[in-house]
Structure formats: C-alpha cells, structure tokens
Amino acid sequence: MQIFYTPEIAVNLELPEEEAGHCIRVLRLTEGDEILLTDGKGFFFKAAISRAHPKHCEVNILEQWEQPALWNFNLHIAVAPTKNMDRMEWFAEKATEIGINAITCLNCRFSERKEIKPARLEKILVSAMKQSQKATLPELNGMTDFRTFVSLPFAGRKFIAHCEEGVKPLLKQTYHPGENALVLIGPEGDFSPEEIALALKCGFEPISLGESRLRTETAAEFQISEGVDSIIVCGTTGESSTMTEKEKCRLGLLYDANYDPEILADRERAKELLYDYNRLRPFEQIRRTELLKKLLGKTGENLIIEPPFACDYGYNIEVGENFYANVNLVILDGAKVCIGDNAFIAPNVGIYTAGHPLGASDRNKGLEYAYPITIGNNVWIGAGAIILPGVTIGNNVVIGAGSVVTKNIPAYSLAVGNPCRVIKRIDE
C-alpha cells in the first residue's frame, strides 16, 4: 500500500498538497480508497479518502498504531557534507533506511561545502522513510558550525573519527550496547588539529573507523558506512563482531561480493538451479515452473520466464501474478527486486541492483553495493531495456525498447531513451 507523509495528520485530516497531488492525479485514487499514512513521528495511520481533491485530499482515520523502535538508544551522525552533494544525499537516504535518529551537517575548517539546501535533503529523507516503510523521520539539522556543535550537550557517548596520530580504538571495540552515541565524521581534509583538540576537550572520544582512505568525493561516504556498521552491530546484537557481508548488502553498504564464502555459496546454488532450468525441453513447462518457484523468493501461480534466464541469487526476486519474461532476461539481485502483477518483459532486458565503487582499489577488492528495484503492476518493459540500481517504476508504465532507466518513473507514463525520460502520460 502506498505510504503518504502527513506530519500534521493528528490535528488536520488532510494530505499536504504535494502528497494530495500524487495521490489523486498520479495514482488516481478516489473516495473510499484506503491509503497508509505516517506522521514521521513513529505512527502509521490507515485511512480512507473522503474527499478526492488534488490540492485538498481529505481522509478519515480507520486505524492507528505505533511502529516499534529498531533499538532503545539514540544514534546521531554529524558529518561534513561532501563537495558532490549526490554523496551526501546517498548517505541521508541510507541513514534513514537504517534508522539513524538524527543527522547534522557540520561546517568545518576544511569543509569542501559550506552551504546546503535543507529542503532538498528533507525530501530525500521523506522518500527514503516511505520507501523503507518506516514511520520515523530522522531529525535533520542544517549546516552547523563545528565549534558551536561540539559544545552542545548530548546524553550519551561522543566520538570523533579523525586521522591524526595517537591511540584510537575501533568504534566497535569501544562502544557498549544500548548507549546513546554521537559520531563526528570530518571532511576529506580531516578535522583541523584545533577542532580535534576542542572536541576532545568537550568530552569526545577519539576513534578509528578502519584503515581505508578514499579520495575526496568518496571518503566521507565510506567512513560513514564503516561507522554505522560498527554502531549498529554493537547496538543490536550486543556483540563486538563485524557485520556479515549479507547484512552489509541489505543495508546498502559496500560488501564483499567476490570472496565471501556465504555469498559465493548462495550464488552457486542459483547457478545449479539455473543450469537445470535453462536445459529443459520446451514441453517440460511444469518442471520449469517448479524450478522457478524453488529459485525465486516469491511468485504468483501463473508465471513464465523463457530460457535462457540468469540471476545472481534468485531469493531476492519477487514477482506477482501473470508474470511473463521473454528470452535473455538478466536480473542481478544483490538487493530485492519486486515486480507486481501483469508484468510483461520483452527480450534482452537487464535489471541490475548491483553497482561498484568508483575507486579502482575498492573494485579490485571485490566490493560492490546493491540497491533495491521496484516495478509496479501492469508494466511493459521493452526489448533491450536496462533498469539500474535503486529505481522504482510505478504502475501502468511502458518503458520503451533500448531505454536505460536511471531514475524513478511515475505511474501511468510512457518513458523512453538513455537516460530514460517520461514523454507521455498514459490515460486509461
């Protein structure tokens, strides 16, 4: 069910104008249709539309419930935004999906970026909250002076990750389960010596996030991933062990795709099933369906995938009823691939959740990331189309042949090209 962000729903039974427009104009919902709302404060609301107006969509609340917190402590990440805002936006998105409680943008002496647009980041946070089906929006603090920030009170452990010499234990070695934690992540040029000294004076503990050092536009992103990895592991399991590579993958972090034994075993299982599947004779359709149901994570009763078919794991692929894919479908399902009912996929289509870091050193280590792909109901994907990581395609969409889909495509659209763009609305 589509989730709508309604921060004032407790006092105003009306969707914000942007959400109302999406609900009525794009999704074409009308009076009586049920929708799911969240206030971003931890609550979900099941509601029915009482007035289907594109600017003033009114609802009646049918049910309300609180989403349990992921943990009983507070996680706050303060980071100097990268020069390339795409990196910062990626972090904001993943932090929301993981469940970070608060994000602060730091203005440091060596910061590459001194200004940000909080409204843009806020939209990223809201979208990620809805996409990950969470009911809590992280607190976002805009650009804040470093000296001012480190002087503020915080009820918990305070850490600073820096590159200066000295004794610096790994975060996962010093953090204790259940503690509130604030972690400072500096710019690529690191915090200045004066900033480090001030932070230590204000009670921050020096930590290391590992030995990796990356170039300007990737350093902060990788360090954040390492820091979140360490805290989440300690806080949720009560152990100082490292996340498994599959756990990193599910969180959208860099993970070992080439050398981890567990991941290699999963891919080997898929290869064995695909070997049998792709060599069945045409009349063995019942056996083919049996193998698909064994390979894929979730299917409807009526599905056909014409061989040859290839995927990485299979269990991350979910398809609805009346699913048809023509020959040479390739799905790299490091992350979830969810496809709705009545999907029609032409020959030679690629659906790729996996990507690789820009830095050659990390690629050579076998590291990659995987972002989920969602494809709605009644979607036709033309021959030779490519769907890239993190894309969502709405209901009743047609993707033209040879298109490269790099960004989300709204419902009821005809979209074509490289990069794929909406050229026409489909009215039915």
What's the N-to-C CA distance of the chain in angstroms? Answer: 21
Residues in the chain: 428
CB of 284 closer than 8 Å to CB of 300: no
For 260-328, strand residue ranges (E) read: 303-305, 309-311, 317-319, 323-325
Tell me how far apart the alpha carbons of residues 139 and 309 are, in angstroms, rounded to a whole number.
44
Q: Is 348 helix (H, G, I), strand (E, B) or coil?
A: coil
DSSP assigned state of 407: S
DSSP H helical segments within 141-284, as ranges? 146-150, 171-174, 193-201, 216-237, 245-250, 261-277
Tell me how far apart the alpha carbons of residues 102 and 142 are, in angstroms, rounded to a whole number.
11
Instruction: List Cα–Cα distances, 11 to 7, 15, 51, 55, 276, in angstroms.
Output: 9, 11, 17, 18, 58
Tell me how far apart the alpha carbons of residues 298 and 198 are, in angstroms, rounded to a whole number.
54
Q: What DSSP assignment string belongs to 159-189?
A: EEE--SSS---BHHHH--TT--EEEEE--TT
Nearest CA to 250 out of 361, 125, 123, 353 is that of: 353
Residue found by looking up tokens 């500096």 in the block: 186
Q: Which residue among the candidates 76, 162, 176, 356 is catalytic per the annotation?
A: 356
Show Cβ contacts of residue 243 under 8 Å, excluding neighbours closer than 6 positions: 229, 232, 233, 251, 253
- 53 flagged as catalytic: no
Show which residues are catalytic: 356
